[in-house]
Structure 1
């Protein structure tokens, strides 16, 4: 690959982001943001599927399949996502999504 200004800029940007996320407080803040975004996604999915009325079963099955795939990838030794920030953020997003759906279920009393 040629060493262009764009490649150099992207390499420096990626290295700078990785260096900043080595700080444990920033890493924790990133995981908290991923969790809160998952809660938002859970609330948005439940409200949009509830408005249509006939997509409840389809939306819940898709969410369950996605959550199980993320769990299988995160907790298996093959992918080794536990050591990466991306894997931890994906797992926090999954927890937030399921927590948001659980919160809506408790609010509706179902």
Structure 2
């Protein structure tokens, strides 16, 4: 039983609006592509920024591993009922872009 407050009705209206926007398949594809590219951007820039400062590299790598495993757990273990939703697909695309960019960076460094 929920109360109909101004905030809850505002959030419901916003979610309904976003759901209407992402019903268009081209917009869904665009968001998935942007998630993939954002993951690639992060994958290229996170090692460059932490490597330039050479400060806490191991903890940043641990954070990346934990975040990718958390995304795997959310997407594939049906955590919070997000198994085949658009949000899980966007998170998975972000993770794939991040992992691909990290693999490319590793190949560039020769490790």
Whether the TM-score (by the shorter chain) exceeds 0.5 is: yes
Calculate the aligned-residue CA RMSD, in Å. Answer: 2.1
Q: Distance in 1 between matches of 2:60 and 2:77?
A: 26
* Residue correspondences, number: 108
Runs of 4+ with deviation above 4 angstroms: 6-13
Shift of 1:108: 1.8
* Aligned residue in 2 for 1:27: 28
Output aligned runs, 1:15-54, within 5 Å: 15-54=16-55
Do the aligned residues in 2 keep the contact of 1:43 with 1:104 (CA within 8 Å)? yes
5+ long unaligned stretches in structure 1? none
TM-superposed CA distance for 1:14, in Å, is 3.5
SS at match of 1:83: coil
TM-score (norm 2): 0.82
Q: Counterpart of 1:48 in 2: which secondary structure?
A: helix
- Of 53-62 and 33-42, more deviation after overlay is shown by 53-62
TM-score (norm 1): 0.82
CA–CA distance in structure 1, aligned partners of residues 104 and 19 of structure 2: 34
Alpha-carbon offset, residue 72 of structure 1: 1.0
Q: Deviations over 1:34-73 (max 9, x none)?
A: 0100111111111111111232211111100111111011
